[in-house]
């Protein structure tokens, strides 16, 4: 490789390999030839030739070749024919290499995709077991502890203390139920058993239903819940899924909003979509966390303004359900000023 010797070699006996370092391009045997391009081109050799066994070669220099073809036209034709054949073979080889390269790239892309899916499955499994082992277990431990206290010392507590125990039991039982409901929905989604059944839904009515669902809970915390959605705003969605999304986002907003503040459920229309927003004046989300809150492998979880616990599972489910209904979800937030979750769903014009 790199030599400027302008000569072609014919193998009389033996065997050689054409290579660049450890990479072997091809091998030539008895009565085959190599270096034919050197007869018409003065460029340096692009590869190295090494004998693989005892080998005898005939050498034809470029200068001698030029003298021969001046007197023998048939030699020129024979050499050209050999060159054309070699070029054609090289073209065929190059085409095969290109096809193999494309195939290898496709296989590599498929492997990368499978690797990504496996990583997501592992993250999903880890998240699932973390929630079961910690977040679902804790409320039941608290309920068991409170009921044991009531059973053992019921007569020593006054009526107000007993009511407080009952309120706490109700609170933790409700939290466990909501978390379990989300886990069941999530499990169905992950196993492909959750079908999307789109139908014509009035988003105004759906928002009012969910306002009524949370009104007592919001009032107990001193949070005002308002709906600013035009009547007869129709979307083509799976009602159960979008109800789950609204409940998760409203519940989240209540959790991180202080007493005296408000939450607004509002909507706007584009040509083909409805944008639904849940806006609060709560504590906000740090900028560094905004890109992570919808990810399954995220461990972001903060306490609410009344020390409510969260897992982040509701937001993950919300993203999946919105995407299954042909929409997108995003968040805007500023610390100590509030958060606005917005998701889109297909507009129904019928």
Q: How many CA atoms lie within 13 A of 251 on its CB side?
A: 21
- The pLDDT of residue 308 is 63
Predicted confidence (pLDDT) per residue in 160-196, tens digit: 999 888 888 887 887 778 778 777 777 777 777 778 8
Run of H or E including 224: strand 224-228
Domains of the chain listed by start with CATH number: 7-101 (2.60.120.10), 136-192 (no CATH), 195-350 (3.30.565.10)
Look-up: residue for tokens 């991180």? 256
Angstrom distances, CA of residue 126 to CA of 120, 134, 159, 303, 307: 10, 12, 43, 21, 25
Instruction: Give backbone dihedrals phi and psi of 15, rounded to 5 degrees, phi first.
Output: -155, 140
- The pLDDT of residue 329 is 94
Tell me the pairing of strands 199-202 and 16-20. Answer: unpaired
120 has pLDDT over 80: no
1 has pLDDT over 80: no
Cβ atoms of 291 and 333 within 8 Å: the answer is: no
Q: Is 322 helix (H, G, I), strand (E, B) or coil?
A: helix
R_g over Cα of the chain: 37
Of 54 and 80, the structure prediction assigns the larger pLDDT to 54
Of 5 and 235, the structure prediction assigns the larger pLDDT to 235
What is the band of 127 on the pLDDT scale with cuts at 50, 70, 90? low
Most confident of 71-75, 247-251, 310-314: 247-251
Cβ atoms of 250 and 265 within 8 Å: the answer is: yes
The percent of residues in the chain predicted with pLDDT above 70, rounded, is: 89
Cβ atoms of 300 and 312 within 8 Å: the answer is: yes
248 has pLDDT over 70: yes
d(CA 156, CA 160): 12
- Class of residue 295 by CB neighbours under 10 A (exposed 0-12, middle 13-18, buried 19+): middle
Angstrom distances, CA of residue 283 to CA of 215, 275, 323, 339: 20, 23, 27, 8
Cβ atoms of 25 and 19 within 8 Å: the answer is: yes
128 has pLDDT over 70: no
Predicted confidence (pLDDT) per residue in 319-332, tens digit: 989 999 999 999 99
């Amino acid at each position: 490789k790199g030599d400027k010797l302008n000569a072609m070699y014919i193998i009389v006996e033996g065997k050689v390999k054409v290579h660049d370092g450890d990479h072997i391009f091809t091998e030539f045997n008895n009565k085959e030839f190599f270096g034919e391009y050197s007869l018409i081109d003065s460029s340096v050799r692009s590869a190295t030739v090494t004998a693989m066994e005892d080998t005898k070669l005939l050498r034809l220099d470029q200068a001698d070749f030029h003298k021969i073809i001046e007197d023998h036209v048939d030699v020129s034709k024979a050499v050209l024919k050999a060159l054309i054949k070699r070029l054609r073979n090289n073209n065929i080889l190059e085409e095969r290499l290109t096809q193999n390269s494309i195939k290898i790239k496709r296989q590599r892309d498929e492997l990368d995709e499978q690797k990504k899916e496996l990583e997501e499955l592992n993250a999903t499994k880890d998240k699932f077991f973390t929630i079961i082992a910690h977040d679902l277990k804790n409320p039941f431990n608290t309920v068991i502890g409170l009921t044991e206290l009531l059973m053992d010392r019921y007569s020593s507590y006054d009526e107000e203390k007993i009511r407080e125990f009952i309120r706490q039991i109700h609170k933790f039982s409700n939290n466990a139920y909501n978390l379990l409901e989300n886990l069941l929905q999530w499990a169905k989604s992950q196993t492909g058993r959750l079908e999307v059944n789109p139908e014509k839904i009035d988003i105004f009515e759906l928002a009012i239903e969910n306002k009524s669902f949370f009104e007592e809970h919001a009032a107990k915390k001193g949070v005002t819940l308002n709906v600013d959605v035009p009547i007869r705003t129709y979307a083509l969605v799976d009602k159960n899924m979008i109800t789950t999304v609204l409940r998760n986002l409203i519940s989240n907003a209540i959790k991180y909003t202080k007493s005296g503040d408000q939450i607004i459920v509002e909507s706007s229309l584009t040509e083909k979509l409805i944008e639904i927003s849940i806006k609060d004046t709560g504590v906000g989300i740090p900028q560094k966390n905004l890109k992570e809150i919808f990810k399954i492998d995220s461990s972001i979880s903060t306490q609410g303004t009344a020390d409510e616990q969260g897992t982040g599972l509701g937001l993950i489910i919300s993203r999946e359900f919105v995407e299954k209904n042909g929409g997108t979800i995003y968040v805007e937030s500023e610390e100590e000023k509030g958060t606005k979750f917005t998701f889109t769903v297909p507009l129904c014009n019928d």
